[in-house]
Amino acid sequence: MGTAFDITDALKAELDKRRPLTAGELERLRDEFIIEYTYNSNAIEGNCLTMRETALVLEGITIAKKPLKDHLEAVGHRDAFLYVQRLVTDNTPITENTIRDIHALILIDRPEDRGLYRRIPVKIMGARHEPPQPWQVPLLMEQLMERHHGSSRHPAAEAAAFHMEFERIHPFIDGNGRTGRLVLNLMLMRAGYPPIDVKYSDRQRYYACFDYANADTSANAMEAMVADYLEARLRGYLAILAPDGGVMKDELTQ
């Protein structure tokens, strides 16, 4: 029986056969991805910078009439993604401390809350799910990490499942979405996949995945979304590398 990731795995295998990109090419692709990823991930959480403004802020330019908070969020997200890349390069294990460190970079504008589990109850606007009480968070995060390290499921499916459970716990007072998407990408990249960029324009589909009242449907929806984004990214890389312009074998396009 197939999985949501059959096509992505075939595309990844094809990509693995191709010649590697040069350091300069990789840096250019990374920089372009960081801009779009930072814009989309922050926009989902209410940041009002446009993609062009995000690019300018990451170059050190201040945007008039835009909040300092939005500037800091762009810089913090960029730095957090670069940190995630280093974790992948160094093959650093994913732990609670790793996640706390990512959060600390994300929440650059809130030094008193950086890397700390929340100590008050929170509600997610518009969501039917109510996150657990703060006293439950440390144990739930410990259990989540134990399940992750003992998981035998497909690595991309595990990344999707971890993301859903992380957001259900909502361990931090703020920055859970951005941190969670970075951890999702950390898991994908450690498994040899490219990072994905959930688009602001696709946010309704993304929100719909967190219908915890119907766990099986939500899990399948998140897996399908991650698989779709991975397929698009892999096809994009193959279009760059394949001598035939990226046209794939028939069995990969069925």
Residue closest to 188 by CA, chosen among 231, 150, 218 = 231
Confidence (pLDDT) at 78: 98
Mean residue pLDDT of the chain comes to: 90
**Residue 92: what pLDDT?**
95
- Report pTM: 0.92
Residue in 71, 154, 163, 170 annotated catalytic: 170
Q: Is 79 left (phi over 0), alpha (psi -120 to 50) or beta?
A: alpha
- Pinpoint the alpha helices (H) of the chain: 6-17, 23-44, 51-58, 68-89, 96-106, 137-149, 155-169, 176-190, 203-208, 215-241
In this predicted model, what pLDDT tens digit does every residue of 13-55 receive, in sequence order?
998 888 777 888 888 889 999 999 999 999 999 999 999 999 9
What domains appear along the chain, each with residue ranges and CATH number? Answer: 14-242 (1.10.3290.10)
The rounded distance, in Å, linking the Cα atoms of 120 and 138 is 13
Q: Is residue 124 within 8 Å of 211, Cβ to Cβ?
A: no
Query: Is 170 an active-site residue?
Result: yes
